[in-house]
């Protein structure tokens, strides 16, 4: 087993364990923090795959902004942050079945691909992934349109949020 595989396995355990804790823990704030742990694990996965930019952005956006907003909102809205009700519904078996089906389908599809037992190709020397990503985001034959559409969508969300927060004082 190589060092990469050991790190990957530890990381997978971290992500899966934290994800299970997110949905099973009864304290909302703990759930949010377990979510942070899971997202951090994903950032480590990106780092293993030599996608440093994605790893750092994962931490900045998901932990620095979204998870902190979650925690902030949870702290502000509930005094008693304990959920005492039962954690399952009577029809829990239906989503469980659906989840299992999707998992089986994915496993079937992945097993059909000749990707097992391969080692990742080494990164060629002198390739600046960050620069390539930057060019791809603004190049007309690459992703400039989705990038701009996403920007406009976010701007619209921002303006909408400010409008709602400011209130309709006519």
Contacts to other proteins by CB under 8 A: 2-3, 27, 29-30, 33, 36, 52-53, 56-57, 59-60, 63-65, 67-68, 71-72, 75-76, 128-130
Task: Quickly list DSSP for the chain.
Answer: --HHHHHHHHHHHHHHHHHHHHHH-SBHHHHHHHHHHHHHHHHHHHHHTT-HHHHHHIIIIIIIIIIHHHHHHHHHH-SS-B--S-S--TTTHHHHHHHHHHHHHHHHHHHHSTTTTPPPPPPPTT--HHHHHHHHHH-TTTTHHHHHHHHHHHHHHHHHHHHHHH----
Q: How far is the CB of 90 from other proteins (least distance, A)?
A: 32
Q: How far is the CB of 85 from other proteins (least distance, A)?
A: 21
Q: How far is the CB of 3 from other proteins (least distance, A)?
A: 6
Pick between residue 104 and residue 150 the one whose CB is nearest to other proteins: 150
Pick between residue 19 and residue 25 the one whose CB is nearest to other proteins: 25
Pick between residue 72 and residue 163 the one whose CB is nearest to other proteins: 72
């Amino acid at each position: 087993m190589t060092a990469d595989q050991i790190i990957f396995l530890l990381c997978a355990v971290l992500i899966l364990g934290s994800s299970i804790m997110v949905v099973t823990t009864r304290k909302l704030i703990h759930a949010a923090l377990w979510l942070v742990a899971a997202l951090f694990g994903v950032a480590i996965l990106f780092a293993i795959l030599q996608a440093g930019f994605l790893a750092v952005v994962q931490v900045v956006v998901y932990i620095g902004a979204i998870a902190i907003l979650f925690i902030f909102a949870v702290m502000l809205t509930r005094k008693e942050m304990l959920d005492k009700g039962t954690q399952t519904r009577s029809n829990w078996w239906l989503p469980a079945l659906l989840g299992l089906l999707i998992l089986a389908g994915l496993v079937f599809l992945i097993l059909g691909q000749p990707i097992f037992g391969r080692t990742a190709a080494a990164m060629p020397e002198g390739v600046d992934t960050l620069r390539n990503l930057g060019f791809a985001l603004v190049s007309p034959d690459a992703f400039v349109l989705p990038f701009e559409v996403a920007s406009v969508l976010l701007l619209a969300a921002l303006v909408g949020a400010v409008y709602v927060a400011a209130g309709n004082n006519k």
